[in-house]
Amino acid sequence: MAAGTFPCDGVDMLSHVSHAELGTTFVNDIWGWTDPRTRKDYALVGASEGTVFVDISDPKRPSVQGILPTASSEGGRFWRDIKVHADHAYVVSENTNHGVQVFDLTGLRDWDGTYTTYAETARYTGHGSAHNININTDTGFLYSVGARGTAEGIDCGTGLHMIDISDPADPTYAGCFQDHGYVHDTQCVVYEGPAADLRGRELCFNSNATTSAPGGEHRVAIVDVTDKDNPVSLSREGYDNDGYSHQGWLTPDQQYFLHGDELDEVRRGIRTTTRVWDVRDPENPAVVQTFENDTTSIDHNVYTQGRYAYASNYTSGLRVYDIRDVASAGMEEAAFFDVYPENDNPTFEGGTWSNYPYFRQKGVVAASSMDRGLFILRPRVSRAGN
């Protein structure tokens, strides 16, 4: 597929991998892994069928190695989420009885050159389905969110379901936090920000949504999960023009939280919007900037790396924002690549679900496209601080 097909500014398309090449029909989330021994970069692509492993060490000539099939197809749900810790991939799905799949990624080293069906290394069954996961690689804890169903009697009420993965192939239940109801997504970190009394504590920055129907409560919440037996709510705040509190990511200095609402463009008739939360005092967070892009699409997932934020905004594609003066000047678009040239409508008809900007090869970004597969991109932006 030619790069000229896609409107762009400041982004090179290095390669494209179609659904036919991936062996998929629908792509959702994405993450990545760099093999510490071989230094190869891999894109881990979520799909309805499972998780596809793509070697992008040569980003212009990616190699699709194979698939880890879904652990369950019950319910026919298309959501899947993947994160990595200690050379193991952890995969959840909204399919019933899926649990958390564990896959030892070092098994990718022995690829024989043919499309391979891989077997899971282990599976955690303390919950059934889950919408998303986040892993704090500094502490070795995994957080499933929006989890439902269990065969082991554990019920975290769709809040934070905490799992100890210090032994990567033997996940064990660690605790729950369900006081705020449904958590759609989270980022959990060892806090190193300016609030001295919280430094060294493990905090989760949650996007809370009580319902996707109009009239629900939509919040950003911060929880101290250092003591898994006794997590503590630090704050829970709403915001104007809410639609559905979806996902957010901290700036590298942990002072600001870039937050996306998935349905504000639909329900409020506003342009693609990102809210900048001042979280320097995690007990009193506040929105200090509201950035509206010139597009009308729905924003989905955003990640930060150095002075840039990388946003997957469905029909308007990958958007790269300069966030070096995010508190005073807000965000400024530095580059974009539109993987869905048909339109920028505020719909879910196509476009990019998510992206991964943390490969060993600096500047390479993998973006998943629901309708077109996988794009390997390189934004032409300054890499200072990345």
C-alpha distance from residue 28 to each of 31, 161, 338 (Å): 11, 22, 17
pLDDT tier for residue 109 given thresholds of 50, 70 and 90:
very high
Looking at every residue in the chain, the average pLDDT score rounds to 95
At 78 the pLDDT is 82
Q: What are phi and psi of 139, to 5 degrees?
A: -110, -15
Give yes or no for residue 193 having a pLDDT over 80.
yes
Q: Is position 385 within any domain?
A: no
Q: What is the pLDDT of residues 19-56, one digit of tens each?
A: 999 999 999 999 999 999 999 999 999 999 999 999 99
Looking at the structure of the chain, the number of domains it has is 1
What are phi and psi for residue 7, nearest 5 degrees? -60, 140
Mean pLDDT over 351-357 rounds to 98
pLDDT of residue 382: 79
In this structure, the number of other CB atoms found within 10 A of the CB of residue 38 comes to 12
Whether residue 202 lies inside any domain: the answer is yes
Residue 182's nearest CA partner among 254, 129, 140 is 129
Residue 7 lies in a domain: no
Residue 106 has pLDDT above 70, yes or no: yes
In CATH, what number is assigned to the domain containing residue 298? 2.130.10.10
Confidence of residue 209 (pLDDT cuts 50, 70, 90): confident
- Please report whether residue 2 resides in a domain: no
Residue 356 lies in a domain: yes
Of residues 33, 29, 1, the one with CA closest to residue 14: 1
Within a domain: 5: no
Structural domain of residue 320, as residue ranges? Answer: 12-379
Within-domain flag for 6: no
Whether 93 is covered by a domain: the verdict is yes
